[in-house]
Amino acid sequence: MSDQYRQYEPETMAILARLLDGDRRTLARALTMVESGASGALVAACRKALAEREPVRRSLRLGMTGAAGVGKSTLLEALTRALRQRGRSVAVLAIDPSSPLTGGAILGDRIRMQSMAGDEGVFIRSMATRGHLGGMAAAAEDALAVMEAAGWDVLLVETTGVGQGEVDVAQLVDAVAVVLAPGMGDGVQAMKAGVLEIADVLALNKADRPGIDELEQEMAAAEAMAEIVSGREQRRILRTAALHGEGVESLLDALLEIAERGRSKGPQHREQPGRSAAPAIHPPQIDHLGIAVRSLDESEGFYRALGLVAQQRETVAAERVRVAMMATGESRIELLEATDAESTIAKFIARRGEGLHHVALRVDAIESVVARLRQQGVRLVHEQIQVGAGGHRYIFVHPASAHGVLLELVEAAE
């Protein structure tokens, strides 16, 4: 080793040497040191060794996250088998919830993967969260540095069952699969502004179950809308049925392709502790629901009985309507009363009666959004961006391009 290692104690150097030779027992011992907090010098030495490696010799790190019950562990085992069939060595770091009695990991994944315990090309380690939030263990970053120093071709990282904001895995790996499954219901909606944003690939597991078509359609629609509004490239959506091995090879191919691209950028791609994930692109939020009514006074009485009070009343001359805006948490309800029999709202009520007129999404930089829409041939109701109630800027997307819904895009006034 180079003279840069002279600062380390002989014991640390002896452990590092055995690690670099791929000794499994030394790796197990080193990970125990990591969890106990007694490995500062060893981890630093491992990081130094990794920094000296050529990018092609560094491990690929693949992360898997998602809510509890979506089949992450089964999919993890299937990916491990597929990697072994391709001749790649695999080290698994499975983050398990801490036991409420001992504080240790429940070891769920090590139990499930016992059939692979005799394979010298597979190393499995469970690690307890020990109260750390984010879906990962506090020591996971150091553990991965040690595991990578031991020379494994691929490191597979599985988080605990996560919710909306638990996105720490994105800081530690080269590619992330967020696993979903049919039957999650509103759970998918809750994840959209959080963990779904870190996905490189969306894996729809348990694809042999009812509801998979609906889940795929929902995610495809969300990806298409995100591309239109924010310009983010759509992620791949892949079906898997891990119990039967279906779709596993395609998922693995997608993750390896993304990870290889990241590795080609060199060690700095993810070397520094605490590296932040790529900035999340937030999907548009519902700004308000526009409801056409015959009388603001009468309709406000109903909503007042629900505890909603109009915070703003205004006449929008350009649209020939009177508007009452009521806050409902982060979104709003907009009541629209026509001031002219020839107005859009008056014609809507004459044709369909009172009811939901449009859905408004809050966007940033509306000019950029409109430019992307025009490039994609989306039909707009107006040629120019309008100014509406409260000074917000808006434009309507024609129902013919928004799948039957009159969609308003709103940029809030500063």
In which residue are the tokens 């992307």 written? Answer: 372
What's the confidence (pLDDT) of residue 196?
78
What band does 130 get if pLDDT is binned at 50, 70 and 90? low
- Tell me the average pLDDT across 292-316: 91
204/183 Cα distance (integer angstroms): 11
Longest CA span, the chain = 89
Using an 8 Å Cβ cutoff, are 176 and 198 in contact? yes
Q: CB within 8 A of 206, min separation 6: which ones?
A: 70, 71, 181, 182, 212, 241, 242
The predicted model scores a pTM of 0.67
Using an 8 Å Cβ cutoff, are 200 and 177 in contact? yes
Per-chain mean pLDDT for the chain: 83
How many Cβ atoms sit within 10 Å of the Cβ of residue 220?
13
> pLDDT tens digit string along 201-230?
999 999 999 999 999 988 888 787 777 766
b/e string for 379-395 if b means 16 or more Cβ within 10 A? Answer: ebbeeeeeebbeebbbb
Dihedral sign for Cα atoms in the order 261, 172, 230, 161: positive
CA distances from 412 to 110, 286, 392 (A): 51, 12, 5
By mean pLDDT, which of 23-32, 157-166, 205-214 is the weakest?
157-166
CATH 3.40.50.300 fits 285-411, yes or no: no
- Tell me the average pLDDT across 237-256: 95
- Enumerate the domain spans of the chain: 53-269, 285-411
What's the confidence (pLDDT) of residue 105?
46
- Tell me the average pLDDT across 162-166: 56
Checking if the pLDDT of 33 tops 60, the result is yes
What's the confidence (pLDDT) of residue 364?
81
In which residue are the tokens 């080609």 written? Answer: 264
Checking if the pLDDT of 158 tops 60, the result is yes
Checking if the pLDDT of 23 tops 80, the result is yes
Classify 175 as helix, strand or coil: strand
388/342 Cα distance (integer angstroms): 19
CA distances from 209 to 197, 204, 212 (A): 25, 11, 6
CATH 3.40.50.300 fits 53-269, yes or no: yes
By the 10 Å C-beta count (0-12 exposed, 13-18 middle, 19+ buried), 401 is classed as middle
What's the confidence (pLDDT) of residue 329?
80
